[in-house]
């Protein structure tokens, strides 16, 4: 099935009274859900008459994030791609078929599918292909995931966050480089004046009960937290205390919350990341696509510790920031309390001297939303 026929022949032209509906698909982690929500809000700002429905699986972070943003969430079965040859290999095709059958009902009511990767995407992509519905996809990682590799076979439009995700041949050769769709609060802060940023920084530091005159480290390990990073931070606390270093630490919702001290604020999860970024002097984090996208926009120096699983996408995600002098990349097996304490003075000095070159042009979320609105305009012209 060609991309052109997939877009041009999928349905008759929309009539003025037709209900306009989009399926936003992507789940599991914040890296899939947050970009989808950012695009959804931009679409709503442009066209309030477009109905937006999300699709995910029952255990993903979308179950908390999507309803909290007042969007409807539909669930389909989670189908894991077997990575080893086990009996699950023989069961997997049947699970996928069942998920596709359930997805067909959801896709049949939609005019457009917009996918962001994750477990929910493959059945929806296949259902959309069978029903000849147009598909737009956004690949957040520098190394493409298998779900979006599948979706790209049928996609009318492909967006990427990293230049390295573009291929010289194949379906990704015509991908549109737009960066990462981010929540409006993050991108809005990039447009603030230095005095406005200073005011918001002061307000957040006071809310934490910390001292504005001492350095503040912001630590997080993705939406689930990172026990490895958590251990290194907790084992370094005597060093931080002795050197008047303050730490705001998101340990993850499923991890035990340590005790708060005068210079250590442990949190399960940080809801207002925009303010947290403004208030800190240095970030220590995993290098998920969402985190790297946010760091590029907020202009904070970071120590990035890629998660050592998957297809190496987290290490690849961090390369652009490292090349720009915006981050230090350290392997997971090398990052520990001893390394952190030995290198901290040099790291903090680089963070203090870092002068970001922040672009304040049109956001990735706005670009995708405008393309979606243009899609519906084109359908009405037919």
Q: Could you tell me the residue ranges of all domains in the chain?
A: 3-181+363-381, 184-353
Q: Residue written as tokens 């077997």?
A: 82
Question: Most confidently modeled of 128-137, 166-175, 217-226?
Answer: 128-137
Backbone angles phi, psi at 245, to 5 degrees: -95, 130
Residues 300, 347: Cα–Cα separation, whole Å: 12
Residues 178, 252: Cα–Cα separation, whole Å: 30
Smallest CA-to-CA distance from 139 within 94, 171, 110, 107 is with 171
pTM score: 0.87
Please indicate whether the domains covering 3-181+363-381 and 184-353 agree at the CATH topology level. Answer: yes
Residue 138: its pLDDT value, please? 97
- At 115, is the secondary structure helix, strand, or coil? strand
Span 5-46, pLDDT tens digits? 444 444 445 554 467 999 999 888 888 999 999 999 999 999
- At 108, is the secondary structure helix, strand, or coil? helix
Instruction: Specify the CATH number of the domain 184-353.
Output: 3.40.50.2000
Span 289-328, pLDDT tens digits? 999 999 999 999 999 999 987 778 999 999 999 999 999 9
Residue 218: its pLDDT value, please? 98
Question: What 8-state DSSP symbol labels residue 99?
Answer: H
Residue 364: its pLDDT value, please? 95
Backbone angles phi, psi at 156, to 5 degrees: -85, -30
Average pLDDT of the chain, as a whole number: 90
CATH topology of domain 3-181+363-381: Rossmann fold (3.40.50)
- At 182, is the secondary structure helix, strand, or coil? coil
Q: Residue written as tokens 């981010």?
A: 182
Residue 12: its pLDDT value, please? 44
Residues 264, 277: Cα–Cα separation, whole Å: 16
Q: Are strands 302-304 and 282-285 parallel, antiparallel or unpaired?
A: parallel
Span 228-271, pLDDT tens digits? 999 999 999 999 999 999 999 999 888 889 999 999 999 998 98
Query: In 153-281, where does DSSP find H-type helix?
Result: 184-189, 194-208, 227-235, 237-242, 273-279
Residue 223: its pLDDT value, please? 62
Residue 259: its pLDDT value, please? 94
Distances (CA, A) of 329 to 12, 142, 162, 273, 356: 51, 15, 17, 21, 17
Residues 195, 201: Cα–Cα separation, whole Å: 10
Considering the chain, what percentage of its residues have pLDDT values greater than 90?
Answer: 73
Smallest CA-to-CA distance from 273 within 369, 185, 150, 347 is with 185
Residues 73, 68: Cα–Cα separation, whole Å: 11
Starting at the earlier edge strand, list the strands of the sheet with 264-267.
264-267, 246-250, 216-220, 282-285, 302-304, 327-329
What sign for the dihedral angle of Cα 289, 292, 295, 297? negative
């Amino acid at each position: 099935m060609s991309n052109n026929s997939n877009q041009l022949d999928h349905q008759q032209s929309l009539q003025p009274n037709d209900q306009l509906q989009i399926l936003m698909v992507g789940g599991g982690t914040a890296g899939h859900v947050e970009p989808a929500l950012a695009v959804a809000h931009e679409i709503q700002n442009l066209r309030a008459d477009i109905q937006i429905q999300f699709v995910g699986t029952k255990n993903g972070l979308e179950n908390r994030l999507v309803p909290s943003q007042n969007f409807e969430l539909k669930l389909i079965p989670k189908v894991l791609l077997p990575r080893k040859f086990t009996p699950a290999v023989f069961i997997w095709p049947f699970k996928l078929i069942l998920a596709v059958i359930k997805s067909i009902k959801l896709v049949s009511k939609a005019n457009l599918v917009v996918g962001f990767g994750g477990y929910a995407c493959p059945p929806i992509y296949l259902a959309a292909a069978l029903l000849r519905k147009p598909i737009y996809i956004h690949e957040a990682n520098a190394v493409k995931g298998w779900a979006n590799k599948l979706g790209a076979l049928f996609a009318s439009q492909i967006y990427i966050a990293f230049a390295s995700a573009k291929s010289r041949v194949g379906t990704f050769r015509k991908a549109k480089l737009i960066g990462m769709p981010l929540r409006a609060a993050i991108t809005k802060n990039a447009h603030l004046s230095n005095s406005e940023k200073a005011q918001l920084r002061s307000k957040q530091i006071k809310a934490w009960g910390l001292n504005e005159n001492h350095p503040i480290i912001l630590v997080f390990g993705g939406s689930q937290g990172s026990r490895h990073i958590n251990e290194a931070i907790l084992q370094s606390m005597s060093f931080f205390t002795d050197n008047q270093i303050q730490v705001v630490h998101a340990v993850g919702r499923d991890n035990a919350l340590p005790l708060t001290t005068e210079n250590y604020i442990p949190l399960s999860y940080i809801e207002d990341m925009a303010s947290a970024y403004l208030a800190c002097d240095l970030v220590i984090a995993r290098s998920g696509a969402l985190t790297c996208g946010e760091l590029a926009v907020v202009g904070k120096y970071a120590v990035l510790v890629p998660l050592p699983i998957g297809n190496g996408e987290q290490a690849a995600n961090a390369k652009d920031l490292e090349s720009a002098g915006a981050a230090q990349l350290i392997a997971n097996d090398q990052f520990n309390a001893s390394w952190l304490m030995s290198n901290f003075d040099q790291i903090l000095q680089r963070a203090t001297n870092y002068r970001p070159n922040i672009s304040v042009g049109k956001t990735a979320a706005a670009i995708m939303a405008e393309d979606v609105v243009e899609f519906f305009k084109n359908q009405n012209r037919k």
